[in-house]
């Protein structure tokens, strides 16, 4: 079973972390939501407290592990599922698989499109470097892309925490996730069929999953709401937790 935290009681809310992070990236949201909900936060396979798996890894590996976890916890009814960035790619795979009843969906700083051939090549080059040099090289490359320039200056303890989280992940897991993201399909054609009550949350200054991509997703998913987080970069749940929590609370109350 995946390592996870499970706090609070009420409607189950499952939060899927991004790359190369752990469930700890959601700590502000657990604080904000667990008073009224059961908040389940897994560490995806190979990250945090979850064991490194034998490769190759795909989005299906992650989606199946989350479904197995929820089955193991006896969570069968409709869940509210939030995916941040790579966690959003996993959420799309969960929808495709249909093993979990997703009643509400939050897509946080993520995108539906697949990698371009150039991005895919970059992931494979980086995977080879990470296997050779360790996860620190990925942490150094990622940190400036995760936060706005202002937050990189003004939030040294949060940015140091995130850098430490990224460098502590097993190199093999980081490399596997790069390969899994490179191989992920384009989820755009499936957006029109999403029936879950959906909220798209996007940092205004996100360079990894841009505001334009978020707007396009929100337009393509029937009835989706869009919350733009002013001034925030990619890791909005940690850079602007107040705004992100407010959007998640609104999403959860409108979908219950």
- Residues at the interface with ligand MLT (CB under 6 A): 18-19, 85-86, 181, 208
Q: Residue 26 has what DSSP assignment? A: G
Concatenating the DSSP letter of every residue in 159-195 gives HHHHHHHHHTS-HHHHHHHHHHHHTPPP-GGGGGG--
CA distance 59 to 68: 14
Burial 198-235 (b: 16+ CB within 10 A, else e): bbbbbbbbbebbbbebbebbbebbeebbbbbbeebbbb
CA distance 142 to 133: 15
CB of 18 to ligand MLT, least distance (A): 3
Q: Which is nearer to ligand MLT, 102 or 208 (CB)?
A: 208
CA distance 11 to 131: 40
Q: Which is nearer to ligand MLT, 103 or 136 (CB)?
A: 136
CB of 216 to ligand MLT, least distance (A): 16
- Cα–Cα distances in angstroms (integers) from residue 50 to residues 19, 81, 237, in the given order: 14, 20, 22
CB of 52 to ligand MLT, least distance (A): 18
Q: Which is nearer to ligand MLT, 75 or 206 (CB)?
A: 206
Q: Which is nearer to ligand MLT, 86 or 174 (CB)?
A: 86
The count of other CB atoms within 10 Å of the CB of residue 155 is 16
Q: Which is nearer to ligand MLT, 22 or 85 (CB)?
A: 85
CB of 217 to ligand MLT, least distance (A): 14
Q: Which is nearer to ligand MLT, 73 or 211 (CB)?
A: 211
CB of 123 to ligand MLT, least distance (A): 8
CB of 195 to ligand MLT, least distance (A): 25
């Amino acid at each position: 079973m995946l390592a996870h935290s499970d706090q609070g009681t009420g409607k189950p809310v499952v939060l899927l972390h991004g790359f190369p992070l752990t469930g700890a990236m959601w700590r502000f949201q657990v604080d904000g939501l667990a008073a009224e909900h059961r908040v389940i936060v897994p560490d995806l396979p190979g990250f945090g407290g979850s064991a490194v798996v034998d490769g190759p890894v795909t989005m299906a590996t992650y989606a199946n592990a989350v479904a197995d976890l929820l089955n193991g916890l006896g969570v069968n009814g409709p869940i509210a599922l939030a995916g941040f960035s790579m966690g959003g790619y996993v959420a799309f795979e969960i929808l495709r698989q249909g093993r979990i009843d997703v009643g509400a969906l939050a897509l946080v700083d993520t995108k539906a499109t697949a990698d371009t051939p150039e991005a895919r090549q970059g992931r494979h080059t980086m995977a080879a470097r990470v296997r050779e040099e360790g996860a620190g090289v990925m942490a150094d490359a990622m940190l400036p892309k995760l936060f706005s320039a202002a937050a990189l200056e003004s939030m040294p303890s949060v940015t140091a925490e995130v850098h430490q989280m990224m460098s502590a992940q097993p190199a093999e897991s980081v490399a596997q996730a790069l390969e899994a993201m490179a191989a992920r399909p384009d989820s755009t054609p499936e957006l029109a069929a999403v029936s879950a009550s959906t909220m798209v949350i996007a940092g205004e200054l996100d360079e990894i999953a841009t505001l334009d991509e978020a707007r396009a997703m929100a337009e393509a998913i029937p009835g989706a709401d869009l919350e733009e987080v002013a001034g925030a970069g990619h890791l909005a749940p940690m850079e602007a937790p107040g705004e992100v929590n407010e959007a998640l609370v609104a999403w959860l109350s409108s979908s219950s």
